[in-house]
Amino acid sequence: MFAKTTFPALFLINFFLASSPGAAFANVSEQRNGQFNQEYQRVSNVFTGLFAKLEKSKSGDEWDENYHQLQHFIGNPGAGKDSKVALCNQLKSLSPSELEYLGSIVDSGMAKDSLNSCRSELLGKIEYLGNQNRMAFAMEGESASIRPIRFEERLIDEHREVFSNQGFAEKEVMLTFDDGPRSKTTPIILDDLAKAGVKAAFFNTGASVVENKNVAKRILSEGHILGSHTYYHTLMMGREVNRDKMAYDQFLAEMISGHLTVSAAAGYIDPFFRFPNGCSNQNMARNVAELGLKNFRWSVDSQDWQFSRGTYDYRRTQILKTFVEALKTSHNRGIVLMHDIHQQTVDVLPLILNYLSDNGFKVVLLKPANRVLVPGQNLPVVSQGQSYLKEKGLSLADILPEKPKNNEKGEPVYDLRFKTRVDFLDMYPQLTYQQQGYAAKATCDDH
């Protein structure tokens, strides 16, 4: 029988055990696990909250804001390795429909670093799910049976600065695609448009074009319009600048670097620009015109962005249904908004094209006059920008916008003091600059 241990002896034993390497390691390991669990819970809570907001989106503008907010969080879940591991675990736990829906984010350059340890695995799962769905519903057959649509190329009204549904007769639509290009989806969309004998306008982001230059060049080579959609797709710029939550230079950097980057990558760009979310203010819209660009909005939201937990075929049918409803609301005419980054857009496009064909629609492509696909065209934003950068010995990297940081809720936060290495008023003397504290009337005040 062991003798009863006195207090001093017990203290010495405990001290020795606590001082031993094994005990020290156990304590550190326990502390480390606690830190990871805490970060895992934070990432899980933010991700779940953002995805719930995305799922509940009721309009295209609301979805656009929620989707890109989630995209920014996935690209920047936190500063440490734990944040990235926690994010990978979160994405691995998603249902097949949820994971496939986020495929464009997982596949984007923004997620390369944050998902470094799991991106290949996730993309493999997404590709497998897509192939299974297309085989089950004979998607290849649908794509092969796309019927021709009446088509016309038409010069834009050079005196008009903003385009929506003006100038379109009943059953005349212009097809437009935002946020690309993406190598896994845009080429298939181009193939299907060719089968229907129609052309469209693609509003590319600078960051996406850098990743997919050849796809942007193909858009041009096949006769489509190539416009810009900023560089990083910064959210709700008209609203955030008016609320003094974003520097005006952030907007100028987004618009200017986006247009110059697409032009440099593809060798040409059309004078067409679209605001992310369609959200601008009066001064921003004035800047677009001052740089020689046309501001393209839309009147028919295809709602190809909507998420549903129904079957694969139900989701496609639902998008077609809401597209038809939006078309009727716009009196069967106008500019149609779609997104060439989503697999579900690829999957529903044959249904949309055949609906237009079967119901006597005409697809119209608005084009600028004197369109010659040569580098350095006489477009103020391009010609002045390129000349200025060359003269100052600067590059496009010197005028890029700020990548947004996230707060604890996953919401983007911008530096109000943000400036690029360039004085945009020196680069473009014709610009009307909006000073901090002044709120110009915005087109997105209701969001």
- The pLDDT score that the predictor gives to residue 370 is 83
As a residue count, the chain comes to 447
- The pLDDT score that the predictor gives to residue 3 is 41
Task: Please tell me the number of Cα atoms within 13 Å of 110 on its side-chain side.
Answer: 27
- The pLDDT score that the predictor gives to residue 24 is 52
Domains and CATH numbers, the chain: 25-134 (no CATH), 149-367 (3.20.20.370)
User: Do 385 and 256 meet the contact criterion of CB atoms below 8 Å apart?
Assistant: yes
- The pLDDT score that the predictor gives to residue 165 is 86
- Token reading at 11: 């203290």
Cα separations in angstroms, 324 against 230, 231, 304, 310: 29, 31, 12, 20
User: Do 258 and 228 meet the contact criterion of CB atoms below 8 Å apart?
Assistant: yes
Residues in the chain, pLDDT under 70:
1-32, 136-141, 375-377, 445-447
Tell me the helix, strand and coil percentages in the chain, rounded to 5. 50, 10, 35
- The pLDDT score that the predictor gives to residue 313 is 83
As a whole number of angstroms, the distance between CA 240 and CA 59 comes to 19
As a whole number of angstroms, the distance between CA 177 and CA 179 comes to 7
- The pLDDT score that the predictor gives to residue 445 is 41
Q: Which residues contact 226 (CB under 8 A, 6 or more apart)?
A: 201, 202, 204, 216, 219, 220, 262, 266, 268, 269, 270, 272
Query: Minimal CA–CA distance to 415: which of 427, 401, 395, 435?
Result: 401
CA angle 201, 68, 95 (to 5 degrees): 105
Q: What is the pTM of this model?
A: 0.89
3-state secondary structure of 118: coil
Give pLDDT tens digits for 413-437: 899 999 999 999 999 999 998 887 7
DSSP structure class, residue 92: H
Cα separations in angstroms, 423 against 68, 166, 295, 351, 419: 28, 36, 24, 48, 8
- The pLDDT score that the predictor gives to residue 374 is 73
Query: Minimal CA–CA distance to 368: which of 163, 186, 208?
Result: 163
Phi, psi for residue 349 in degrees, rounded to 5:
-55, -45
* CA dihedral (214, 74, 447, 434) positive or negative: negative
DSSP structure class, residue 421: S
- Token reading at 159: 């005196």
DSSP structure class, residue 79: S
Give pLDDT tens digits for 105-132: 999 988 999 999 999 999 999 888 888 8
